[in-house]
A and B are shown apart, each in its own frame.
Chain A
Amino acid sequence: MINDIFVFDNVIHLYDLSQQNVRTDRVDAQEARDHTLAEVSRLRWKGYPLHDDKNFDWGRRWGVEDMYDLVFKQAPTDMAMAQVVPMFDWFKDWYAPVRSQHQMAAAYPKQVMLCGGVDPNYEGLSAALDQIDYQVHELGARSLKFYNGHVKVSECWRCDDEKLAYPLYERARKAGIRVIQFHKGNPHGLQNMEFLSPTDLQAPMRDFPDLDFVVHHFALPYFDEMVSIAARFPNVYLSLAGYMAFYRIAPRRVQHHIGRLLQVAGAGKLLWGSEAALAGGPAPYLKAFMDMSMPDDLRSGYGYPQITEADKRMILGENFARLMGVDIEAKKVELGLKQEVAQ
């Protein structure tokens, strides 16, 4: 916790960027893996013990204890969701494998939830539907993650495709899932951008009003579209998903985006997400978020409201806890963060 603020991280990934996981049948796989590692190394902030360790190999298959140390011991995180990244473009066992995320949730069931992931263009729709059943019923997945934009256009799919995508949502709903999540914007390399626009989520948001849709990365560079969607649709939430890592580089840009979202969509629509371990440990980003305020000129010139502690409390934990059915006060007692009060 930060003071008494409960921190529920919407997204951590036990990714596998090890050399062994790189596909050898895709000519761009090695370069993509190396480029990713180099790019994210620039995002990680100094002052975090592991970030300063020159000998630490970030190109690894992340394990449970390393991740627990990074997220829960070295940062004030109380709960987190370990999310599969079903990007098969460059990695044999996907970018963030099902098994690794499941191991994390199984090792720390009080604190970690599993978000599974499937792709209808990996081994076909039927296999994806079977995987949903397996991941939910056998592995205990509480949510599902989708990546519809791929490097090859032939492997891309639209989220409003009633023949390919809707069966996924229907199967998820049937399995008891109520929260589904989408990577939008933030392309990995030379993908076609149109598949990463959030506009194809509007039809499923309308057609599946009983499902909540979490969209990651503010769909950048499709920010204006994302704001409009988040403001209009009651069942959409936006995950910060590593975005605070940019605060060191462009604080005004982050303030602009957060301010605009508070102004039009409201703090109730935003979810804290650290994107550990790719962006490093969450501690410096959590501190930056807690210290962040809306500058005078943005409040005056753009009408953005000041970000309050109540906003931060919602964003850091209350919103996602509500979506996932977590009683924060009961969870604090369960985790020994506070004493049970006798009735």
Chain B
Amino acid sequence: MSVDADQLARRVRAINVLIGSHAGSVEVLGVSSQGAVSIRYAGMCTGCEYRPVTTAGTVEPALRDVPGVTRVEVVGARVSDEALARIGATLDQGDAAARAVRVVRRIEAEDELVEGVRP
């Protein structure tokens, strides 16, 4: 299943509304034929030590919710597998991933409503 470019772009816009509150953003570098989405952080996210938490708790689940996306790869700085496991364990308890998906879907819906009333 291929990834619809417009759907992915809408999702990235919604993610950026969310993390824009921290003056950061993500950029899509490419999508593989297997559905792996390659991204990089921009803005204030580039110097932030909490990037891995943002990836695991917000960006990755929100992108994986897009049909056809199978994997999210972040280019640049990264943490160890052990650190990722700890982050994952903590986030599971808080249901952060599900919340992130709910929030970006709502942002997309609000965006569509605004689009609909524009002349």
Q: Which residues of A contact B (CB under 8 A)?
A: 228, 231-232, 234, 262-266, 268, 294, 299-300, 302-306
Q: What residues on B are CB-neighbors of A232 within 8 Å?
A: 44, 46-47
Which secondary structure characterizes the binding site on chain A?
helix
Interface size for B (C-beta < 8 A) is 14
Chain A residue with minimal CB distance to B44?
Answer: A232
Cα A303 to Cα B81 with chains together (Å): 8
CB of B75 closer than 8 Å to a CB of A:
yes
Chain A residue with minimal CB distance to B85?
Answer: A300
Among B66-119, those with CB < 8 Å from A are 75-83
Contact between chains at A268 and B83 (CB < 8 Å): no
Cα A318 to Cα B32 with chains together (Å): 22
CB of B4 closer than 8 Å to a CB of A:
no
Task: Write the nearest CB–CB distance from A197 to chain B, whole angstroms.
Answer: 18
**Residue among B75, B76, B77, B79 facing the most chain A CB atoms (10 A cut-off):** B77
Which residue of the partner chain, among A231, A262, A300, A302, contacts B47 with CB atoms under 8 Å? A231
Q: What residues on B are CB-neighbors of A304 within 8 Å?
A: 79-80
Task: Write the nearest CB–CB distance from B8 to chain A, whole angstroms.
Answer: 23
Cα A305 to Cα B83 with chains together (Å): 9
Cα A294 to Cα B79 with chains together (Å): 12
Contact between chains at B77 and A303 (CB < 8 Å): no
Q: What residues on B are CB-neighbors of A268 within 8 Å?
A: 75-76
Task: Write the nearest CB–CB distance from A62 to chain B, whole angstroms.
Answer: 37
Which residue of the partner chain, among A231, A234, A265, A303, contacts B79 with CB atoms under 8 Å? A303
Chain B residue with minimal CB distance to A265?
Answer: B77
Cα A265 to Cα B77 with chains together (Å): 5
